[in-house]
A and B are shown apart, each in its own frame.
Chain A
Amino acid sequence: MRFLIVDDSKAMRSILMRALKTAGYDGSTFVEASNGNEALTQVRAAGVDVVLADWNMPEMNGLELLRALRAEQNPVALGFVTSEGSSDVRDLALSSGALFVITKPFTPDVLKSALAAVAS
């Protein structure tokens, strides 16, 4: 599986990558982007199976990224990993086409459960 991890924090990208490996995706390919614009370029250039995106990012945030992808008719699975876990954010994300919203702090098991639908 090819993951695109989108977060303006290098540390968070690293944490997510390690958590995905622990969750059983150690044979996967990981691509990184630090904002939505970079992520769009990555998706258009190489294609990915799953996008894991932060909600708040500079230049283009996670929700704008999701809306840009859907505007291009790109159905790639996208989940948010964010500290913004309010019901408003969750509702907005899911109604905009997100697959899931994971609230920090998270565990590898939470990631695994959220990704089960994609993996199958």
Chain B
Amino acid sequence: MSGPLPIDHWMDVMEAATSEVAVATLGVGNVERFARLDEPSTVMSGAYLPLVGVEDQLQIALAALPDDCGRIARAMLGMAETDDLPIADVADAINELVNIIAGGVKSKVFDRLGALQLGLPIFIHGPPQPTGRLRTRVTPVRIGETPAVLMVVQHREQEA
């Protein structure tokens, strides 16, 4: 153990895990990454999952516009874009996607941080509210053809 990881390191790890999951597990195509931001540029819906270790506590998230969440979910379920999909099933799919990504993140930091505990993912409409103690990092991505963002939320005092 060597102290909390910087938020950009967490984002590096999350980006790598997301790319692996998209190609190898889901088969939905490559993940194209764009320049990082400090917060999402628009209001999105997405799944947030807590990761808790001895020295780090953070949330990772995948968010997108509602229609794009639906596209990602349909791709995961092997459905056509025109198929009806209840919002509960969209939330289930995006939650599961973040859960799988979290599994990849967990394995990638194991040697440095030991075993992280994964919390339950929750699907939320809207952005996290920044506070003086929260730091957010956002990477806009394109998963296959669908735009989305990856997000890491970390308490400032935990950042190295």
Q: Do A and B bind each other?
A: yes
Q: Which of B76, B89, B103 contacts A104 (CB 8 A)?
A: B103
Query: Which of A4-12, A40-48, A60-68, A70-78 contacts the other chain?
Result: A4-12
Q: How large is the interface on B (under 10, 10 to 19, 20 to 34, 35 or more residues)?
A: 20 to 34
| B25:A11 contact, CB within 8 angstroms | no
From 11 to 28 in chain B, residues with beta carbon under 8 angstroms from any chain A beta carbon are: 17, 20-21, 24-27
* B73 / chain A contacts, CB cutoff of 8 Å: 11
**Contact call A105/B89, Cβ cutoff below 8 A:** no
Q: Tell me the total A-B contact number using a CB cutoff of 8 A.
A: 61
Q: How many residues of A contact B (CB 8 A)?
A: 19
Closest to B97 in A: A11
Asked if B26 and A15 make an inter-chain contact with CB atoms under 8 angstroms apart, the answer reads: yes
On whether the beta carbons of A85 and B103 are closer than 8 Å, the reply is yes
Contact residues in A for B24 (Cβ distance below 8 Å): 105, 107
Asked whether A11 lies within 8 Å of B77 as measured between CB atoms, the reply is: yes
B118 near A84: Cβ-Cβ < 8 Å: yes
Interface status of B39 (Cβ within 8 A of chain A): no
Does B71 lie at the interface of the complex (its beta carbon under 8 Å from any beta carbon of A)?
Answer: no
Report whether B77 and A86 are in contact in the complex, using a CB–CB cutoff of 8 Å. no
Residues in B with CB closer than 8 Å to A83 are 99-100, 102-103, 106, 118
When the two chains form their complex, are residues A105 and B17 in contact, meaning their CB atoms are under 8 A apart?
Answer: yes
List chain A residues, Cβ under 8 A from B68: none
Tell me if A19 counts as interface (CB < 8 A to partner B): yes
CB of B154 within 8 A of chain A?
Answer: no
Chain A residues at the B interface, C-beta cutoff of 8 Å: 9-12, 14-15, 18-19, 22, 83-87, 103-107
11 CB < 8 A contacts A-B: A10-B77, A10-B89, A11-B73, A15-B26, A83-B100, A84-B118, A85-B103, A87-B115, A104-B99, A104-B104, A105-B20
